[in-house]
Amino acid sequence: MAVPNSDPSTDALDAARLAMASVPRHEFVPAEFQSDAYADKPLPIGEGQTISQPYMVGAMSEALELTGSERVLEIGTGSGYQAAVLSLLVREVITVESHTSLALSAQERLTDLGYTNVHVHNGDGSSGFPDAAPYDAILVTAAAPEIPNVIVGQLREGGRLVIPVGSQENQELVQARKINGVLQSRVLFDCRFVPLLGRYGWTRLDRKSS
């Protein structure tokens, strides 16, 4: 929890840094890339996906403005690294991965490393995960052409959403908050993520033609 008279943004940044320092990033990358595990760059993890660079993981975690009591939905589990970081910052993490092989390996890895408050599901992340909604915060780790309304509908009043939005080549990282049922958003900075595939994201045909 934030201490009185402190800057909430500073608290969120400090908490994110501490969480990242506690998570062994090398456990979340393939063996051939472990020498670069702590370099500030994305790395391949299979299925055309990547583990985000540490700077981006920290920035997205900070942008959720977490206090420790939240239930968070992550869309795009990947290797499970971002979920592991979030697990140290919140009460519970629900994370969805569309690639079955990545979902299975991420769940096994997270369990083996003791991240017991993370629950991995295999499915279309562009639809969110309505079974456990509403969420206090939602983090999308793949680029969407626009913010899917179905995901907004799973966000609790006052909840925060962080998502890259734009074309398949370039996006803006958007931070949004749900106020009186309406999403109020602002752009944080330019970014580049793999496409969000699925019913409310990009189709596989779109991705192949990009």
Q: What digits encode the pLDDT tens for the residues 167-197?
A: 999 999 999 999 999 999 999 999 999 999 9
Query: pTM of this prediction?
Result: 0.91
What average pLDDT does the segment 52-72 reach?
96
When pLDDT is cut at 50, 70 and 90, the band that residue 30 belongs to is very high
**What's the first-to-final CA gap in the chain, in angstroms?**
44
Q: Which residue in 52, 87, 105, 126 is the catalytic one?
A: 52
- Rounded Cα distance between 150 and 162, Å, is 15
When pLDDT is cut at 50, 70 and 90, the band that residue 103 belongs to is very high
What average pLDDT does the segment 95-116 reach?
98
| Residue 3 pLDDT | 32
What average pLDDT does the segment 91-100 reach?
97
**pLDDT of 43 strictly over 80:** yes
Per-residue pLDDT reduced to its tens digit, 118-165: 999 999 999 999 999 999 999 999 999 999 999 999 999 999 999 999
Report CA torsion sign: 98, 100, 102, 106: positive
What average pLDDT does the segment 12-39 reach?
94
- Identify the residue with better confidence: 16 or 163: 163
HEC states along 69-118? CCEEEEECCCCCHHHHHHHCCCCEEEEEECCHHHHHHHHHHHHHCCCCCE
- The answer for residues whose C-beta is within 8 angstroms of residue 86's C-beta and 6 or more apart is 19, 61, 64, 66, 72, 74, 93, 118, 139
Residue 69 annotated as catalytic: no
When pLDDT is cut at 50, 70 and 90, the band that residue 7 belongs to is low
| Residue 11 pLDDT | 80
